[in-house]
Amino acid sequence: MRNIIVKTNALTKHYETGSHTVIALNGLDFEVKEREFVSIIGKSGCGKSTLLHMIGGLDSPTSGTVIVDGMNLSEMSQEQLALFRRRKVGFIFQQYNLIPDLNVYDNITFPLELDGARVDKEFIGELLKTLHIADKIEVFPSMLSGGEQQRVAIARALATKPAIILADEPTGNLDTSSSHDVIGLLKVIARRYQQTLVVITHDLDIAQMADRIVRLQDGKILRGSDSYVGK
């Protein structure tokens, strides 16, 4: 039996917008097992990104709990949360957020340097090879295609060997074929390093690449929406 690595309990998130309150998450119970690949789908505004932010400790809930790898995030200090984000989680966003003045290699190793951690050159080399960007290490982001930039962002997220990879529409800016390649590579790497993978997507074909698909609606998981892709 695999352990549960992510668990949310009656999770709510309200945003005050002056005139009214937006209920982004509305009592959400969600679990992910270790090494599972889960995709999250649902209409724009249903709370997908908000949920991912809560799991990644980027934002705090209004009520309810988030437990990741046995840690209750709401009981952690800002410093502990910062370390948690840096060491446990790899974030991949639709915007690649690469640093323009750093070449590919430095972009990828930047989070490690920030943490004062040793750069495992062999591992980085393997990542670069798997992601087909080994010949680009000295190139600056502006000279890369969208797909290449996204693969650099993926390598950066994976460089710290995080237990959990959280991706928010990671292929939103890519064409269908590049999207499939990128998710395929992400899946290969997550398997190889026994990582848990949560991917938000609007693309049903991409969602189908996961072990399980979860659908959100109005800040909740649509009951009975879990589908096990069974791969």
Ligand X SMILES: Nc1ncnc2c1ncn2[C@@H]1O[C@H](COP(=O)(O)OP(=O)(O)OP(=O)(O)O)[C@@H](O)[C@H]1O
Catalog residues that contact ligand X under the rule CB under 6 A.
15, 17, 22, 24, 42, 44-50
Element (DSSP H or E) covering residue 64: strand 63-68
- Dist. CA 99–CA 141, nearest whole Å: 7
Q: How far is the CB of 169 from ligand X (least distance, A)?
A: 7
Q: Which residues of 27-63 are buried (b: 16+ CB within 10 A; e: fewer)?
A: ebebebbbbbbbbbbbeeebbbbbbbbbbbbeeebee
Nearer to ligand X, 130 or 179 (CB): 179
Nearest to 111 by CA among 87, 138, 140: 87
Q: How far is the CB of 3 from ligand X (least distance, A)?
A: 27
Q: How far is the CB of 191 from ligand X (least distance, A)?
A: 26
Nearer to ligand X, 3 or 44 (CB): 44
Nearer to ligand X, 20 or 118 (CB): 20
Question: Are 108 and 152 within 8 A, CB to CB?
Answer: yes
- Dist. CA 206–CA 183, nearest whole Å: 7
Q: How far is the CB of 46 from ligand X (least distance, A)?
A: 4
8, 12, 39, 49: which one binds Mg ion (CB under 5 A): 49
Q: How far is the CB of 198 from Mg ion (least distance, A)?
A: 13
47 binds, among ligand X, Mg ion, none (CB under 5 to 8 A by kind): ligand X
Q: Does 50 bind Mg ion (CB under 5 A)?
A: no
The interface region with Mg ion, picked from 41-49, 85-93, 148-156, 213-221 by CB under 5 A, is: 41-49
45 binds, among Mg ion, ligand X, none (CB under 5 to 8 A by kind): ligand X
- Dist. CA 173–CA 15, nearest whole Å: 27
Structure tokens given for 142 = 């502006």
